[in-house]
Amino acid sequence: MTDVSSINSAAEVKSFREHTITFLDYLLVIFIILEFNTVYTSFDRIRSLMIYGALGIIVLLMLLRKSVFRIDGIIWLYFLGSILPFLNVSHGGERSFMKFYWMVLPLFLFYLSSLKRNGFDCVASLFIKYSNVVFILSIISLVYWVAGSNLTIISPTMYVPNTWKGIGIEMIPTYHFIYFETQESSFMGYETVRNSGIFNEGPMYNMILCVALSIELFLRPIKSIKRLIIIGITIATTFTTTGVIFLGLTAVWIIFHFFSEKARALLIIVIPLLAVGMMTFSNAVLEDKQTSSGEGSMRSRMYDITTCIDIGMENPLLGQGLFTKKLGEADGGLYGYSNSLFTFFADGGFYTVFLYIASLVLIPLRDYLKDRETLWPLMMFAYFLLFTFTLSQYQLLTFLFVAFGLLMFTSSNGSVVENNYSK
């Protein structure tokens, strides 16, 4: 009886521990999503709470998992290599550099490394939890966008302060604090509101959704058509050019990956129609960007990119210094608020840019060329494209993906499970 009681007690403790770990994993993912320029974090103190809260959760998870990890050569190389850009950080940006590059990224790397020792599926499960949360957010935002923003069946519950636009505090409508109307839009002559969910603007929500869609396609072992359709529809309601292009590329990939050769031949006839439809939708979005709801958006984006390239070329190796205060209007206008990669080039030069290209493109490409059945590199490349043209350089989600790329450079175990998770 004593032995049975002891076994049952041990099983209960193990079950409680596993449930706690699952809960904390989801909480970590939620913090990562909430930190990604949501309305809640438009005030710096709340964003700091999300960042340090996520780091605290990682420490708790490593303690609960009794994590064992080894410091591979790539980690030592990273720490040594990070000294050079640190010496070139703009005055006043030292604390931000240490927070992101000496705390956030290493802790993500250590945590993912400890998960990887139990197999690739443990790492993949964290990303799949992210997709699960985003799927719920997409359903919520679609319901409120249709019933509230468009059909006006329900009304905003109140107005809340928001500082995202940088013009002081603006009062924006919210529905029960789980959906916000942050941007008006004129789409094909129809006055509506962009579906930005809980985020400050459509492009931010679009990136979160597109990342979830790529996880569904390239990492989740069993595909769900329902999930793909709902997330895809939500992407379309953000009215972003990046989202339209992403959906088009996704549709083409699905056609040539999941359909038989005979079906592909028939579907080739449909592709021109699909292309015309996407072009029409894109043109409508672009026209909106030149009107009241997105005045000068495309022009500003191109200005940002060209300005960042010009500034970066003045010191192409290390740039003008990470965490540089951006130019004010009196100095020629703003730059760097519509993209990440080119801003990194201006502030950190080729040296910093290489960290992101290596972890998001080069390392995944190496694994993809080794094994075409391994599809996680396509998820990484999708993130790189989204990251390039969206303001996301100092977000927890970006550092999570960078850490994952660096991790896959150091480890090769779990290949069998990895293939199962990539189909």
Q: Lowest mean pLDDT: which of 64-68, 176-180, 339-343, 363-367?
A: 64-68
For residue 389 the two structure tokens come to 């043209």
Q: Which helix (H) or strand (E) holds 187?
A: strand 184-187
What pLDDT score does 421 carry? 47
Q: Is 198 helix (H, G, I), strand (E, B) or coil?
A: coil
Task: Give counts: helices (H), strands (E), the chain.
Answer: 17, 4
What pLDDT score does 61 carry? 94
Q: Which of 245, 338, 354 is nearest to 299 (CA)?
A: 338
21 phi/psi in degrees, rounded to 5: -65, -45
Type of residue at 381: F
The two beta strands, 184-187 and 190-193, are antiparallel
Q: Lowest mean pLDDT: which of 19-28, 68-77, 175-184, 390-399?
A: 68-77
Mean pLDDT within 92-108: 94
Virtual torsion, Cα 416, 420, 421, 423, nearest 10 deg: 130
The two beta strands, 170-174 and 158-162, are antiparallel
Q: How far apart are CA 242 and CA 206, in angstroms?
A: 8
Is-contact 33 130, C-beta < 8 A?
yes
DSSP type of residue 89:
P
Q: How confident is the model at residue 373 (pLDDT cuts 50, 70, 90)?
A: confident
